[in-house]
């Protein structure tokens, strides 16, 4: 009877041995978390590009502000008592023309700024992806998850600041 129990134990152990070996061979994935938007936005290159955009488009922004001031002035003149009908018609026509011009210039400015900003961010995003890949290879990280898709994580898993620093080192702002 003892030999039957022994045989059963040996057979069970033999059957479980390959499963145990496979379980031991599987290692848990090493995960990191990144706030990709912040990592890119905090780079020196992006900060410099943002300042450059502000400088480049400041004259157009000022022109918009001047038009808005002119429209306010026209509105104040329209509120003046005893305004002649001819003058009122002239002010309304001028206001309508300036309002259309303001709308057109505002849309053009917004489109130009958005287009240029998108080009800058797309370029920086590709470079940040390369930087994150290098960090992963160096640290043996298997997967990186963006913080926007994460409910909870341990702060030690976050590589945002490390990615920004590595980006600034690899691509110094010119």
**Residue ranges per structural domain of the chain:** 2-170
| Spatial contact of 34 and 159, defined as CB atoms under 8 Å apart | yes
Residue 5's pLDDT is 45
Q: What is the pTM of this model?
A: 0.72
For residue 37, the SS3 value is helix
CA atoms within 13 A on the CB side of 122: 6
For the residues 33-54, what does the mean pLDDT come to? 96
Residue 24's pLDDT is 54
Q: How many angstroms separate the CA atoms of 33 and 149, rounded?
A: 10
Query: Does the CA dihedral 7-12-15-18 come out positive or negative?
Result: negative
Residue 149's pLDDT is 84
Q: How many angstroms separate the CA atoms of 104 and 82, rounded?
A: 33
CA atoms within 13 A on the CB side of 52: 11
DSSP string covering 91-154, please? Answer: HHHHHHHHHHHHHHHHHHHHHHHHHHHHHHHHHHHHHHHHHHHHHHHHHT--EEEEGGG-S---
C-alpha closest to that of 116 among 40, 46, 169: 46
C-alpha closest to that of 31 among 156, 149, 144, 153: 144
pLDDT in tens, 55-112: 999 999 999 999 999 999 999 999 988 889 999 999 999 999 999 999 999 999 999 9
Q: How many angstroms separate the CA atoms of 80 and 83, rounded?
A: 6
Q: How many angstroms separate the CA atoms of 34 and 46, rounded?
A: 17
- Fold of the domain spanning 2-170: Protein Binding, DinI Protein; Chain A (3.30.910)
């Amino acid at each position: 009877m003892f030999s039957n129990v022994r045989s059963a134990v040996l057979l069970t152990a033999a059957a479980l041995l390959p499963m145990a070996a496979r379980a031991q061979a599987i290692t848990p994935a090493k995960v990191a978390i990144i706030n990709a938007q912040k990592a890119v936005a905090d780079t020196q290159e992006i900060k410099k590009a943002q300042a450059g955009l502000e400088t480049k488009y400041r004259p157009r922004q000022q022109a918009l502000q001047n038009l808005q001031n002119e429209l306010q002035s026209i509105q104040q003149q329209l509120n003046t008592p005893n305004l002649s009908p001819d003058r009122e018609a002239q002010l309304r026509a001028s206001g309508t023309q300036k309002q259309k011009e303001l709308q057109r210039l505002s849309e053009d400015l917004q489109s130009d700024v958005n287009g240029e900003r998108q080009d800058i961010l797309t370029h920086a995003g590709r470079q940040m992806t390369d930087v994150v890949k290098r960090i992963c290879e160096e640290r043996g990280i298997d997967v990186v998850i963006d913080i926007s898709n994460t409910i909870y994580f341990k702060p030690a898993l976050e590589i945002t600041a490390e990615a920004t620093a590595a980006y600034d080192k690899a691509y110094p702002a010119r």
